[in-house]
């Protein structure tokens, strides 16, 4: 599912890298979807997702901007849930599926950076995004038509390839670079809208691709 992002002011560590991460957990059972997630910068929680309760733990955006952000996320979750229910009506399943998306970036003291996007299905590595080449790679052990289907779907769209690469390589890293020069003061100009737009778009397409087979018993 879906996670929020914001700029959190904190001092840079001299030895350890600065790290920004987002974690999205989705549980699907008999057409019902349950969501959990969070976003953090350098280990400090900035946002929390619990079902349809989306909390800005730190005041990174003013109330009016945050209200719009909450509305966008709730709409996304509602659409995802309706999609799951639709497919479950066509082909009901009685087993539980667990989807986990983990993404973010690291900025090391020497100025180098590393970005990642990993997807697990039922606690097994499923897909990962190779950032340098903007390509999705299958991680599932052995052959699985579902993995091939999801990979092909994600490779079709610029928002899940080039745009996602830009977010991980540039936007995410720039956020950390800005934080490394601050001493606990939050910038007045948050990049959250850009970050949120990219993440919503990429996760929406990922949710649709995964939803097609999560709720049809893996028949592609």
Q: Does residue 118 form part of some domain?
A: yes
* 186 pLDDT above the threshold of 60: no
The domain spanning residue 65 has which CATH number? Answer: 3.30.500.10
Q: Does residue 73 form part of some domain?
A: yes
Q: Does residue 11 form part of some domain?
A: no
Note the pLDDT tens digit of each residue in 145-164. Answer: 778 888 888 888 887 888 88
- Rounded Cα–Cα distance for residues 106 and 5 (Å): 15
Q: Any idea which of 38-47, 173-182, 189-198, 204-213 has the lowest mean pLDDT? A: 189-198
* 187 pLDDT above the threshold of 60: no
Task: For residue 115, give the DSSP letter.
Answer: E
Q: Does residue 50 form part of some domain?
A: yes
Count of structural domains, the chain: 1
Q: Does residue 23 form part of some domain?
A: yes
- Which structural domain, as residue segments, surrounds residue 124? 18-183
- pTM, rounded to two decimals: 0.74
Q: Any idea which of 90-94, 134-138, 146-150, 197-201 has the lowest mean pLDDT? A: 197-201
User: What pLDDT was estimated at residue 12?
Assistant: 38
Note the pLDDT tens digit of each residue in 43-98. Answer: 888 778 888 788 888 776 678 877 877 777 777 777 778 777 776 776 677 778 88
Q: Which of 165, 160, 103 is nearest to 133 (CA)?
A: 165
Q: Does residue 44 form part of some domain?
A: yes
- Rounded Cα–Cα distance for residues 60 and 37 (Å): 18
Q: Does residue 13 form part of some domain?
A: no
Binned at pLDDT 50, 70 and 90, residue 203 comes out as low
Lookup result for tokens 């639709």? 86
The Cα-based distances of 14 to 25, 45, 93, 183 in angstroms read 32, 21, 51, 13
The answer to whether residues 215 and 84 touch, using CB atoms and an 8 Å cutoff, is yes
User: CB count, 10 Å around CB of 190?
Assistant: 18
Q: Does residue 210 form part of some domain?
A: no
Half-sphere exposure of 77 (CA within 13 A, CB side): 26
């Amino acid at each position: 599912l879906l996670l929020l992002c914001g700029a959190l002011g904190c001092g840079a560590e001299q030895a350890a890298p600065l790290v920004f991460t987002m974690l999205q957990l989705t549980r699907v059972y008999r057409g019902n979807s349950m969501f959990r997630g969070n976003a953090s910068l350098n280990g400090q929680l900035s946002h929390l997702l619990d079902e349809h309760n989306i909390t800005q733990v730190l005041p990174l955006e003013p109330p009016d901007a945050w209200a719009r952000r909450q509305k966008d996320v709730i709409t996304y979750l509602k659409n995802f849930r309706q999609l799951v229910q639709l497919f479950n009506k066509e082909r009901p399943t009685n087993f539980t599926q667990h989807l986990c998306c983990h993404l973010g970036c690291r900025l090391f003291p020497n100025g180098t950076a590393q970005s990642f996007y990993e997807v697990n299905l039922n606690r097994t590595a499923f897909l990962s995004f190779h950032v340098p080449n903007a390509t999705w790679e299958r991680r599932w052990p052995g052959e699985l038509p579902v993995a091939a289907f999801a990979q092909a779907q994600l490779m079709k769209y610029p928002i899940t390839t080039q745009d996602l690469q830009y977010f991980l390589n540039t936007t995410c890293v720039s956020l950390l670079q800005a934080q490394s020069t601050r001493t606990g003061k939050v910038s007045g100009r948050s990049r959250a809208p850009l970050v949120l737009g990219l993440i919503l778009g990429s996760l929406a397409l990922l949710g649709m691709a995964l939803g097609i087979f999560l709720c049809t018993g893996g028949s592609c």
